[in-house]
Amino acid sequence: MPTNHLDCWTGPVIGATVGVMPCSSDLRHVPFRTSARAAKRFTGSVGCAIACLVTAHAAMADTATLYSVKDATMIQDSSGEWALGAAYNFYAGRVGENAGGTFRRGLLQFDCSAIPPGSVVTIVQLKLNMSNTQAGTHTVGIHKSTMEWGEGTSFAFGGGGAPATEHDATWNYRFYPDVPWPTPGGSFVATASATKSIGGVGSYTFGSTFQMVSDVQGWVDQPGTNMGWTVKGNETTLQSVKRFDAREAGATQPQLIVTFTPPPSNPADVNNDGAVNASDLTPLLAAWGTPNAAADIDNDGIVDAQDLAQVLAAWTG
Ligand SMILES: [Ca+2]
Ligand SMILES: [Ca+2]
Ligand SMILES: [Ca+2]
């Protein structure tokens, strides 16, 4: 009896996690500069200011469910180029001895354009449905892909694949038959952004992890860098391969659930509550002398009197 029901999707825990938002925002801006003299004048308000900022952001948090726009399997095979661009499934892990003991690696990509530019991503979860397995519980990792790859029209029901079609990703090519990977098996960051222990058939949710949030934030900020993730399983143990449902499977396709805080429509609305008033002064003063993105209204790298002047000028009460 599979125990995977314990891993089923339970949804984002918004209330427990919004507190990290101001930190995430700060981390995106370097270099860090301070004005000790200015900061000293406002130290009494820091605690309250952080609380206000968190509360305001919590009210504005939004969640988008994105579906895979491209998915494929890299099939290790020295004799030919095989692919599964249009198949119902993708695979990760090592097949059995009878199938050659070769590797399978999945490729996944999501379109993040539904998340407005300037948003701060706070929670990212990847939900995959694992629909067939041979034996055992194995760790599967998602690794940020570092090169663009394609999805052709090759189709097969099994993990052996079908002859690659134009633009298919294969073990040797990121776009078959013209553009090879620099190294067969794909290009991706060696350290996984998240891992998951995958046992029996069922739904599994990766993350949220700091690195997944970082990956998706990067894709929101610079869509041109979005190459998706490479899904890598256990490549040591025979028969460790896991079959996951691809976008072509319909209802059980890969889903990326992203919680984010959209940017304020008015830059002077520091706490992003829809009005420019006294409640914006506290977070602005608490961020005085720092490059805090929310409070640096004129975007010159430091929160100072010019930003305060903009809040006062845009006062709505
Ligand atoms: Ca596909
Ligand atoms: Ca406000
Ligand atoms: Ca400024």
Mean pLDDT on 219-226:
96
Q: What is the pLDDT of residues 105-123, one digit of tens each?
A: 999 999 999 999 889 999 9
Q: What pLDDT score does 39 carry?
A: 39
The answer on 52 and 89 residing in a single domain is no
What total of structural domains would you count in the chain?
A: 2
Q: What pLDDT score does 257 carry?
A: 98
Q: How far is the CA of 47 from the centre of ligand 2 (A)?
A: 18
Of the candidates 219, 246, 261, which is a domain's last residue?
A: 261
In a domain, 12, yes or no: no
In order, the DSSP letters of 143-202 are EEB-S---------SSTT-EE--TT---SSEEETTTEE-SSTT--B-SS-SEEEEE-SSE
In a domain, 125, yes or no: yes
The answer on 76 and 129 residing in a single domain is yes
Residue 58 has pLDDT above 80, yes or no: no
The answer on 140 and 56 residing in a single domain is no
Q: What pLDDT score does 130 carry?
A: 98
Neighbours of ion ligand 2 (CB under 5 A): 269, 271, 273, 275, 280
At residue 299 the predicted structure's pLDDT band, cuts being 50, 70 and 90, is confident
If one counts every other C-beta atom within 10 angstroms of the C-beta of residue 278, the result is: 10
In a domain, 38, yes or no: yes
Q: How far is the CA of 24 from the centre of ligand 2 (A)?
A: 20
Q: Is the pTM of this model over 0.75?
A: no
- Candidate from 35-44, 165-174, 210-219 with smallest mean pLDDT: 35-44
Ligand nearest to the CA of 270: 2
The answer on 289 and 221 residing in a single domain is no
Q: How far is the CA of 45 from the centre of ligand 1 (A)?
A: 52
Alpha helices in 195-252 (DSSP H): 210-221
The answer on 270 and 246 residing in a single domain is no
In a domain, 23, yes or no: no
Q: What pLDDT score does 1 carry?
A: 38
Q: How far is the CA of 258 from the centre of ligand 2 (A)?
A: 24
The answer on 294 and 171 residing in a single domain is no
Ligand nearest to the CA of 165: 1
The pair phi, psi for residue 21, each rounded to 5°, is -60, -50
Residue 151 has pLDDT above 60, yes or no: yes
Of the candidates 218, 246, 261, which is a domain's last residue?
A: 261
At residue 279 the predicted structure's pLDDT band, cuts being 50, 70 and 90, is very high
User: What's the whole-number average pLDDT of the chain?
Assistant: 84
In a domain, 10, yes or no: no
Structural domain that includes position 290: 28-60+264-313
In a domain, 126, yes or no: yes
The answer on 298 and 226 residing in a single domain is no
The answer on 304 and 254 residing in a single domain is no
Mean pLDDT on 245-266:
95
Q: How far is the CA of 264 from the centre of ligand 2 (A)?
A: 9
The answer on 255 and 301 residing in a single domain is no
The answer on 117 and 89 residing in a single domain is yes
Q: How far is the CA of 126 from the centre of ligand 3 (A)?
A: 36
The answer on 238 and 97 residing in a single domain is yes
Pairing mode, strands 229-232 and 103-110? antiparallel
Q: What is the pLDDT of residues 24-34, one digit of tens each?
A: 333 333 333 33
In a domain, 112, yes or no: yes
Helices 278-286 & 46-60 angle (0-180, nearest 10)? 120
Ligand nearest to the CA of 29: 3
Q: What pLDDT score does 89 carry?
A: 98
CA distance 204 to 286: 41
Q: What pLDDT score does 210 carry?
A: 98
Query: How many percent of the chain have pLDDT more than 70?
Result: 81
Of the candidates 241, 261, 281, which is a domain's last residue?
A: 261
Q: What is the pLDDT of residues 166-207, one digit of tens each?
A: 999 999 999 999 999 999 999 999 999 999 999 999 999 999
At residue 80 the predicted structure's pLDDT band, cuts being 50, 70 and 90, is low
**Angle, alpha carbons 258-301-34 (nearest 5°):** 105
In a domain, 8, yes or no: no
The answer on 289 and 189 residing in a single domain is no
Q: What pLDDT score does 79 carry?
A: 66
Q: How far is the CA of 21 from the centre of ligand 3 (A)?
A: 20
Q: How far is the CA of 245 from the centre of ligand 1 (A)?
A: 9
